[in-house]
Structure 1
Amino acid sequence: MSTLIVTAFVTLDGVMQAPGGPGEGVDAGFEHGGWQVPYGDDDLVHLMAEMFERSADHLLLGRRTYDMFASYWPRVTDEKNRIAVRLNSMPKYVASRTPRTLEWNNSHLLAGEAAQSVARLKEQVDGVIMTQGSGDLISTLQRHDLVDEYRLLVYPVILGTGRRLFGEGAAPTAWTLKETRATGTDVRYCVYQRAGKPGYGTFALEEGEVTRRSD
């Protein structure tokens, strides 16, 4: 049984859409594409390379993210580029309802409904399955309670519009913060692991109960 980790670049208000350039979000009328780029530094590159090299055995992508990655990363052939070396060699799984040929090295199609095919994949492979981008796919994984861990890179910017990482329908889940660190441009890396279901309570006073002001 594998662990499924969602990695995502998100703004302070939770937007994950089109971080790397304007062309990623034009079809949805998004006007802030490329919001991640000004915060790129050596710390971020090292962090991403470390995640792919040490924390991921398999890459899981939605169709559109796969097409974007497959048009870019195979062209990056510099053996010193740790991210490219890892992405181009590692097993990649693509969730798509449409049969298609996948030309990027070591790519495999997960046909049919994404929730069912990813659940089967988690049973069939060992190690860590990691997502990148793939907002539609992540929403499906959230609704079916298939996510075991989040690795979020939170950027110090608010956009006010765009697709958010957490939307309606995500399965209620509690999480524990296991790690956090910051880059030189104040991007905060946060690792959250599952901690069961949310707990509930109330701060309301019982009838007849009084409390003292703390000030």
Structure 2
Amino acid sequence: MKLVVQEFLTLDGVSQGPGAPDEDTSGGFTRGGWFVPHLDEEFERLAGEWLGEADALLFGRRTYENFARDWPTMTDHPFAPVLNGLPKYVASNTLTEASWDPTTILSGDVPAQVAELKRRPGRDLQIHGSADLARSLLAAGLVDELRLAIAPVVVGEGRRLFPEGAAPTALRPLSTRTTPGGLSVQIFTVTGRPEYGTYGAGA
């Protein structure tokens, strides 16, 4: 399977609490819900297409608990049958049981277990949110593709997908589009480590 990271980001790179003010208030974060004003039908169609490419889902504990709380009860949402039915994996050293079936808990050497999942046949193994997990797997060289939906807003605080000290990573753009709601949707393939140069050298 291909490991795909799907993230909602602000223009200043924050990934925390996109969907509601009370979605994730950890660390005293009070500016959640910043993504919602920019949602539109075009992006919802695109998100549905992406979800249709998934053969399994991978979460960090915090995102998993939020999804497990909400999606089993959202039976009228078109995404619910897919999200509720797909195999799910959650990386956690604290969870001992998971109620959102079918779920498997990954603990211990998570990168090694994810590498094993990637060797299985299938299409996408998708990470939704779970920025800490995504960042660790990107540093481990396991992420194949990034799908970023960037909202035209600066919130000024909160957890970032790429904070200071993130692993240097080279990307190749695959596609970009802007939705009517102002979202910049960018898809990249991960190509390894960056190259560096000096402007004008050898000219």
Same fold (TM over 0.5): yes
1:122 aligned partner: 118
Of structures 1 and 2, the larger Rg is shown by 1
Match of 1:73 among 71, 74, 88: 71
Give yes or no for the alignment of 1:43 onto 2:39.
no
Match of 2:58 among 60, 64, 78: 60
Return the letter of the residue paired with 1:67.
E
In structure 2, what is the Cα distance between the partners aligned to 1:154 and 1:8? Answer: 8
Provide TM-score, normalisation by structure 1.
0.87
Match of 1:134 among 115, 120, 130: 130
In structure 2, what is the Cα distance between the partners aligned to 1:98 and 1:120? Answer: 21
Task: Quote the offset at 1:195 in angstroms.
Answer: 2.7
2:27 aligned partner: 28
Provide, for residues 7-45 of structure 1, a one-character-per-residue CA deviation record: whole Å limited to 9, x for no partner.
000011111111111223322111211111111221222
SS at match of 1:103: coil
Percent identity of the aligned residues?
44
1:91 aligned partner: 87
In structure 2, what is the Cα distance between the partners aligned to 1:98 and 1:162? Answer: 23
User: Please, which moves more after superposition, 109-118 or 156-165?
Assistant: 109-118
Contact 1:114 1:140 in 2 (8 A): no
Measured at CA, do residues 167 and 205 of structure 1 come closer, stay the same or move farther in structure 2, by a change above 3 Å?
Answer: same
Measured at CA, do residues 167 and 21 of structure 1 come closer, stay the same or move farther in structure 2, by a change above 3 Å?
Answer: same
2:14 aligned partner: 15
1:213 aligned partner: none
Measured at CA, do residues 147 and 87 of structure 1 come closer, stay the same or move farther in structure 2, by a change above 3 Å?
Answer: same
Task: Quote the offset at 1:205 in angstroms.
Answer: 6.0
Provide TM-score, normalisation by structure 2.
0.91
| Alignment RMSD | 1.9
Measured at CA, do residues 83 and 201 of structure 1 come closer, stay the same or move farther in structure 2, by a change above 3 Å?
Answer: same
Give yes or no for the alignment of 1:202 onto 2:198.
yes
Match of 1:179 among 172, 175, 181: 175
Measured at CA, do residues 42 and 113 of structure 1 come closer, stay the same or move farther in structure 2, by a change above 3 Å?
Answer: same
Measured at CA, do residues 124 and 111 of structure 1 come closer, stay the same or move farther in structure 2, by a change above 3 Å?
Answer: farther
Task: Quote the offset at 1:167 in angstroms.
Answer: 2.2
Return the letter of the residue paired with 1:183.
T
In structure 1, what is the Cα distance between the partners aligned to 2:191 and 2:118? Answer: 19
In structure 2, what is the Cα distance between the partners aligned to 1:33 and 1:86? Answer: 26
Task: Quote the offset at 1:183 in angstroms.
Answer: 1.5
Structure 1 unaligned regions, length at least 5: 210-215
Measured at CA, do residues 9 and 140 of structure 1 come closer, stay the same or move farther in structure 2, by a change above 3 Å?
Answer: same
Task: Quote the offset at 1:180 in angstroms.
Answer: 1.4
Return the letter of the residue paired with 1:137.
L
In structure 1, what is the Cα distance between the partners aligned to 2:115 and 2:163? Answer: 21
Measured at CA, do residues 204 and 180 of structure 1 come closer, stay the same or move farther in structure 2, by a change above 3 Å?
Answer: closer
Provide, for residues 158-190 of structure 1, a one-character-per-residue CA deviation record: whole Å limited to 9, x for no partner.
112111111244332211111112211110111
Structure 2 unaligned regions, length at least 5: none
Contact 2:5 2:146 in 1 (8 A): yes
> How many pairs align?
203
Contact 1:59 1:130 in 2 (8 A): yes
